[in-house]
A = this chain, B = another copy of it.
Amino acid sequence: MRMLLCSTLASLLVATTMQAQTRTIAERLGHPRDAKLLILHADDLGVAHSENAASFDALTKGGINSASIMMTTPWVTETAEYQKRNPNADFGLHLVMTSEWDTYRWGGVAPNDKTASLHDPDGTMPRQVGTVATRAKVEEVERELRAQIDRAYAIGLKPTHVDSHMGALFSTPELFATYAKVARSYKLPFLAFIGPMNPAARSALQPGDIFPDTVFDAGDTPKEHWKQFYLDALKNLKPGLTEILFHLGYDDAELRAVTVNHDAYGSAWRQRDYDVVSSAEWKQALKDNKIVLVTWRDIQKAMYPNAMTP
């Protein structure tokens, strides 16, 4: 009986999986097959009050609809406060393995005597993804990822997804597999970068996984073309699920100090992102291009119908 049940379940799973493979992401999220789905996502919440304040403003006004939080940074408790007031806020965890800025640094969340391969001798995480790729022990990565997620729940956050700060967890197949395993164990959908960067990562994926087909940010777009870059992106959006990664902030004393000596992803760079999503043209372009905005909460519901969500 038990065997039969297992066998029947297995058949059902295979059938479901096959069905999942033949349905588009749009269909799995309840939209027409060729819908242009978009997540407007702010990264790096927690890193500074300036980053939080600009992101909260854009979330509240609808210029973006999702964000993720770095649990190793000081302003995380402010994001928990925001989500208490806005329980539908689509907040994920921007899992952190690096501490990239010049003078403003952080360590991990797990007891650091149990995660030595993740830190420099001064207790801060390394600046470079390459250091993580070559030095981090996967069992310590798993411990640190679980500590970051557990801390999020402990301070009252209700995450809907995870992704990876600076893509550090996409840098080797072993790191990606650890990240996917941890995400699954919490029933959290995860962002994946698959492609030339990391083809071997594909082996960690399962047919039921849902993640964006296309992910981009403004990168090294010349500043005079900033708004046009994003407006063109909306105009040229393809069917399927796209995620735009914004990094929103106010160009003020705090954010300038955080990002000192860095133009790319610096304070003025983040203000430009904020200015775009706060503009009237942005809202109009979202309407004009027949875009369907979705969130990671929608993905979580599709992947884990019984997951606890706020």
* Nearest-neighbor residue (CB-CB) of A256 within chain B: B49
Q: Is A280 an interface residue (CB 8 A)?
A: no
A103 in contact with B78 given A111-B112, A253-B250 (CB within 8 Å): yes
Cα of A155 to Cα of B250 in the assembled complex, Å: 29
Q: How far is the CB of A50 from chain B (nearest CB, A)?
A: 7
Q: Mark A210-226, 1 if CB is under 8 A from B, else 0.
A: 00000000000000000
List residues of chain B with CB within 8 A of the CB of A105: 77, 155
A122 at the interface (CB under 8 A from B): yes
In the complex, residue of chain B having the shortest beta-carbon distance to the beta carbon of A109: B123
Residues of B within 8 A of A104 (CB): 49, 74-75, 77-78
- Among A53, A74, A78, A105, the most chain B Cβ lie within 10 Å of the Cβ of A74
User: Are the C-beta atoms of B114 and A253 separated by less than 8 Å?
Assistant: no
23 chain-A/chain-B pairs, Cβ below 8 angstroms = A49-B104, A49-B257, A73-B74, A74-B74, A75-B104, A75-B257, A77-B124, A78-B103, A78-B104, A78-B257, A81-B103, A105-B155, A111-B111, A111-B112, A111-B113, A121-B154, A122-B151, A122-B155, A123-B154, A123-B155, A252-B252, A253-B254, A254-B254
Instruction: Tell me how far the C-beta of A137 lies from the nearest C-beta in chain B, rounded to whole angstroms.
Output: 17
Q: Which residues of B contact A103 (CB under 8 A)?
A: 77-78, 81
Query: A154's contact among B50, B73, B122, B252, by CB below 8 Å, is which?
Result: B122
* Cβ-based interface call for A130 (8 A): no
| A133 interface contact, C-beta 8 A | no
Q: A258 at interface (Cβ–Cβ under 8 A)? A: yes
Among candidates B77, B123, B151, B254, residue contacting A48 with C-beta atoms closer than 8 Å: B254
Min C-beta distance of A123 to chain B, whole Å: 6
Which residues of B have CB within 8 Å of A77? 103-105, 124
**Are A258 and B122 within 8 A (Cβ)?**
no
Cα distance, A78 to B103, chains bound together (Å)? 5
Task: Tell me, yes or no, whether A190 is within 8 Å of chain B by CB.
Answer: no
Complex: chain B residue closest to A113, CB-CB:
B111
Residues in B whose Cβ lies below 8 Å from that of A112: 111
Each complex incorporates copies of this chain amounting to 2
Q: Does residue A310 face the partner (Cβ distance < 8 Å to B)?
A: no
> A106 at the A/B interface (Cβ < 8 Å)?
yes
| A window 33-50: CB within 8 A of B | 48-50
Nearest CB on B from A187, distance (A): 22
For residue A58, give the distance in angstroms from its CB to the closest CB of chain B.
Answer: 16
Closest partner residue, chain B, to A105 (CB atom)? B77
Query: In the complex, A252 Cα to B113 Cα: how many Å?
Result: 37
Contact with B along A107-134 (1 / 0, CB 8 A): 0000111100000011110000000000
Query: Given contacts A74-B104, A75-B257, A122-B151, could you give 15 more A-B pairs where the C-beta distance is less than 8 Å?
Result: A49-B253, A49-B254, A74-B106, A75-B104, A77-B105, A78-B104, A78-B257, A105-B155, A111-B111, A111-B113, A121-B154, A122-B154, A122-B155, A123-B151, A250-B253
